Structure 1
Amino acid sequence: MNQSILFSDQVTWDDTTEMVEFHAHQSGMLIVCLVSLEKLAQLAYQKEVAKHEAVAIFDSVRFDIEEIAEALIEDESFDEQGKIIIR
């Protein structure tokens, strides 16, 4: 695990993107990360995840999601808005 990338405990549901939003910090920079319901379902071995349970499912697979996000940040796989999207 890269010690220069830190993840905050704040996790929210984003109605605009319909994804779970969480944040990483690297060298003082805030990085917005988003994970889709489909990816949450895949990581939690479920057929689907409903919006109302997304944050709880995120918490159950947090370590896996943070590893994926960390790899994407290290590879500089940011979208046009500077966000990390995990689909």
Structure 2
Amino acid sequence: MNQSILFPDIQTWDEETQQVTFPVQQAGALIECAITKVRLEQLSQQTCDSELSALEAFAQVRFDIEELIEEEIEEENFNSDGHIVLS
């Protein structure tokens, strides 16, 4: 694990975009990240039909998500808003 990338234990469900959003800190910079409902369901092999089920699924596959986010940051795969979205 890259120690210069920190993952605070803060996640929120965005109903409008159907994503779990969470911040990541790299070298003091805050990067907004998200994982779509579809990708989360693929990783967790669970149906996310509510905010609670999405956040529970996120918690269960958190380390997998962190690894994927680290790869995206290292490859500088930011979207036009400067965010990382796993979709």
The normalised TM-score by structure 1 is: 0.92
Alignment gaps of 5+ in structure 1: none
Secondary structure at 2:10's aligned position in 1? strand
Alignment gaps of 5+ in structure 2: none
The 8 Å contact of residues 10 and 22 in structure 1, kept in 2 or not, is answered as yes
1:16 is aligned to 16
* Distance in 1 separating the partners of 2:6 and 2:35: 17
Please report how far the alpha carbon of residue 51 of structure 1 lies from its aligned counterpart in structure 2 after TM superposition.
3.1
The normalised TM-score by structure 2 is: 0.92
Bigger fraction of residues in strand: 1
CA RMSD of aligned residues (A): 1.0
Q: How many residues align?
A: 86
Percent sequence identity is 45
Runs of 4+ in 1 over 4 A off after TM superposition: none
Secondary structure at 2:80's aligned position in 1? coil
